[in-house]
Structure 1
Amino acid sequence: MKLPNILTALRIACIPLVVLVYYLPFADHLYYAAGIFALAAWTDWLDGYLARKLNQSTAFGAFLDPVADKLMVCVALGLLIEGHSSWLLTIPALIIIGREIVISALREWMAELGKRASIAVSMIGKAKTSLQMLSIFILLSQTPDTTTAYVGLVLLYISVVLTIWSMVQYLKAAWPDLKSGM
């Protein structure tokens, strides 16, 4: 197994650890959960960098990397929905989760058509992911109704705008194929 794939697998292994630490009743548990999340998010950048630099890109890595990202984001948003108990957080979280499901299904369908490259990750998608990770990190580290939590929430809303924008881009790119399949 190549180093980038090991890092991706470690990112997936961090998910239950984030959940466990988030719920453990000890001082600063939220900071530790957020720190583990940040470390896992950093491996997303690192595994991609190493795969390119070391020429270790694999089909398995191309499959597993986006799965790891989606699992990380969706599980963390689920924690935040429960932990913050606020419709202000729940609505953008559900939009993000819904978009991830739609785009995953679209990518799978386009791959079956042999056209997965037509919906490759864009710069908007990369910016969306970075902003989501930052906002989730901030929100995981805070109890609700703190000033810093509101900053995280604002960043989450900005990431929702990028989430919708990137989804529209992917759907537009796939539209000719979607239309012909109707």
Structure 2
Amino acid sequence: MNLPNILTMSRIVMIPVFVVIFYLPYSWSYLTAAAIFAFAAATDWLDGYLARKWDQSTPFGAFLDPVADKLMVAVALTVLIDEYHSIFLTIPATIIICREIVISALREWMAEMGSRGSVAVSYIGKIKTTAQMVAIITLLAFPPGMVGATVGITVLYVAAVLTLWSMVLYLRAAWPDLFPDQGHS
């Protein structure tokens, strides 16, 4: 067990804390839940940075890191869907959650085929993740109806478009393995 893995596991431990705090009937619960999510997002960056810098990458960390990320994002988006009761938030949130499931399954399948590298994280994926985190933090911090919430939904749409774009890039990279009889169309 090393610090990067502990940071990764802390994100999973933060999920129930985040949910309970978000639903507390206090005015500070939104901002506190946003701070917890922001802290989790920062640990996502930090654990990867430390694992590379200290040469502490492990198979356990490589497995758990994307799981922790996807769990935290999916739970946060689900909580926001419940809180906002809005089709305008539900559509991009659903796109993001569905894309995460599709790409996770694709990566797992490609790893089984020995082609994991062809669906590695891309630069557009990093931009998508940044937009997604900013949107979620903003939406958590501002209750529905506030100007900040409108900004958050707008950024969530940007994240959803980038999500679809990155999914297309991943699927194009995997296409020859998914459909070997069709060539590289």
Report the Cα offset of residue 25 of structure 1.
1.2
Report the Cα offset of residue 106 of structure 1.
0.3
Deviation sequence 1:73-121 (CA, Å, 0-9, x none)? 1000000000000000000000000000100110010011011111000
Q: 1:26, 1:146 → 2: CA distance?
A: 17
Matched, 1:107 2:110: no
- Count residues with an aligned counterpart: 182
Report the Cα offset of residue 142 of structure 1.
1.1
Q: 2:156, 2:123 → 1: CA distance?
A: 18
What is the aligned-residue RMSD (CA, Å)? 1.0
Report the Cα offset of residue 155 of structure 1.
0.5
Matched, 1:75 2:95: no
Aligned partner letter, 1:46:
L
Q: 1:162, 1:81 → 2: CA distance?
A: 20
Moved over 3 A (4+): none
TM-score normalised by structure 2 residue count: 0.96
Aligned partner letter, 2:21:
V
Report the Cα offset of residue 27 of structure 1.
2.5
Q: 1:162, 1:33 → 2: CA distance?
A: 25
Structure 1 gap segments, 5+ residues each: none
Identity of aligned residues (%): 63
Q: 2:178, 2:67 → 1: CA distance?
A: 23
TM-score normalised by structure 1 residue count: 0.98
Report the Cα offset of residue 181 of structure 1.
7.5
2:18 maps to which residue?
Answer: 18
1:149 maps to which residue?
Answer: 149
2:62 maps to which residue?
Answer: 62
Q: 1:69, 1:129 → 2: CA distance?
A: 10
Aligned partner letter, 2:175:
W
Q: 1:20/1:181 Cα in 2 relative to 1: closer, same or farther (>3 Å)?
A: farther
What is the SS of the residue equivalent to 1:40?
A: helix
2:8 maps to which residue?
Answer: 8
Q: 2:17, 2:137 → 1: CA distance?
A: 15
2:88 maps to which residue?
Answer: 88
